[in-house]
Amino acid sequence: MAESNLEVQGYIVPSEVPTHWYNIMADFPEPMAPLLNPATKEPATKEDMAPIFASHLIDQELSTERYLEIPEPVREIYSQWRPSPLIRAARLEKMLGTKARVYYKYEGVSPTGSHKPNSSVAQAYYNKLEGMDKVTTETGAGQWGASLAMACAMFDLGCEVYQVRASFESKPYRRMQMHTYGADCYASPSDRTESGRAMREQFPDTSGSLGMAISEAVEVAVKNPKAHYALGSVLNQVLIHQSVIGLEAMAQLEAAGEGTADVVFGCAGGGSNLGGLALPFMGRELRGEAPRHTRIVAVEPKSCPSMTEGEFRYDFGDTAQTTPLMKMYTLGTDFVPDPIHAGGLRYHGMAPMVSHAYHLGLMEAISRPQDQTFAAGREFARAEGIIPAPESCHAICGAMDYLKSGEAKDGEVVLIGISGNGVLDLPSYDAVLGD
């Protein structure tokens, strides 16, 4: 293993972008519960999902193959910023006085500053391949909306985004980012859709939620035969696309002489960043190929604790109850979380893949309040120079609490997923920390 000193730090980047995505469906010891058609309560078929998603994406959603080839046009775009760096957090180690070795996988180097393009590029590519004119979506803090807008611009597709009202009003720069890429962005719930109007009538003062925004985007897509819907998290296809994060991190840790991570911390909202980072580690261990055991810890917001306080059951992915039913940890589709600044984590449920892993006892989950997460993000920024996204602050907070507790053993390798940078979220830092 690498020596514990300040010289062992910096970027660790393998030479190539992964050629395949990873699908943990092939390695789970027990199969996942299927998506259900809400009308028949039978397993959802490709035909059931055809009005919403591109054909290739439905195939990925239902696939049990371990590895799925990344199309060359997608891989070519990935290569603009991938492989993303794995960075030794030596200054953070020194600040905390820990003898653990801390690394972070930094997704903030993408054009939009987060991990979201890993899936948006793939989804835009497949929709263009199928002859669509437009893609609709929801977004919370705006990272997904901006990333899909970017991908649609690259593939000459229209893009219509419904952004949770709380973030639409508090994060204007992400809206400007979407407009720059050519997308249309509307505050949700809006008066543009039947579901939006119904929600505004029922909750006239609502700050919105991802579940509400999903309902609007799905409605628009279903009514337009030349439009499809794209989801930024939760679905199997999204976590499959995001697996490039964990696949790269495993190769990078091996290149650093660490073998693997002892503990992985990831932020948890819908599950895309957490799943993308952690599930490749989990799958390797399930196959009996891991150098040693890796603990996986999900860190979710105290105000939206789907894993730590939710129920594991079938539920809809949206407030208007139009999506297929998914077996997941959920707080209920009518749950509207407080308008916290980590808008990307304000979702009532957890990805079925992550939920299944948690239900099987393959990972852990904790929650942290907003003020603690931002304080941890500020400490991280002062040590490492990178201002993390509010969502990423949750993973940092969980990891720092662990390192400060003295529970980490000498020489233990701790990996933190940094899902994006927080440059456009500085007003949120100011609002929470007040300095």
Distances (CA, A) of 253 to 9, 37, 99, 219, 299: 12, 41, 17, 44, 22
Residue 405 main-chain phi, psi, to 5 deg? -70, -20
Per-residue model confidence as pLDDT tens digits over 46-95 = 999 999 999 999 999 999 999 999 999 999 999 999 999 999 999 999 99
β-bridge partners, 298: 266, 365
Q: Report the candidate in 387, 398, 371, 368 with the shortest Cα–Cα distance to residue 425.
A: 387
Find the helix or strand (DSSP H, E) in which 93 lies: helix 90-96
CATH of the domain spanning 10-20+76-114+238-433: 3.40.50.1100
pLDDT band at 417 (very low <50, low <70, confident <90, very high): very high
8 Å CB contact between 417 and 395: yes
Instruction: With H, G, I as helix, E, B as strand and everything else as coil, classify residue 378.
Output: helix
* Confidence at residue 60, expressed as pLDDT on a 0 to 100 scale: 98
Decide: 352 and 330 in contact? Cβ < 8 Å: no
Give the pLDDT of residue 342: 54
Q: Describe the chain by its helix, strand, coil percentages, rounded to 5.
A: 40, 20, 40
Count of beta carbons in the 10 Å neighbourhood of residue 312: 17
The residues pairing with 106 across neighbouring beta strands, listed in sequence order, are 418
pLDDT digits (tens, 9 = 90+) for 94-115: 999 999 999 999 999 999 999 9
* Range 389-422 burial, b when 16+ CB lie within 10 A, else e: bbbbbbbbbbbbbbbeeeebeeebbbbbbbbbbb
pLDDT surpasses 50 at 5: no
The pTM (predicted TM-score) of the whole model is 0.94
Read off the tokens for 351.
């990805």
Q: Could you tell me if 340 and 372 are in contact, meaning their C-beta atoms sit under 8 angstroms apart?
A: no
**What is the spatial distance between Cα 202 and Cα 200, in angstroms, rounded to a whole number?**
5
The fold for domain 24-67+116-229 equals Rossmann fold (3.40.50)
Q: Report the phi/psi class of residue 160: left, alpha or beta, with left for phi > 0 and alpha for psi in -120 to 50.
A: beta
pLDDT of residue 346: 61
- Domain assignments of the chain as residue spans, ordered by start: 10-20+76-114+238-433, 24-67+116-229
Give tens-digit pLDDT for 129-147. 999 999 999 998 899 999 9
**pLDDT score at 170:** 85
Contact, 208 vs 166, CB < 8 A? yes
Q: Phi then psi for 378, rounded to 5 degrees?
A: -65, -40
Equal fold, 10-20+76-114+238-433 vs 24-67+116-229? yes
Q: Work out the average pLDDT over 152-174.
A: 94
Point out which residues pair with 162 in neighbouring strands. 138, 186
Report pLDDT digits (tens) over 178-218: 999 999 999 999 999 999 999 999 999 898 988 889 899 99
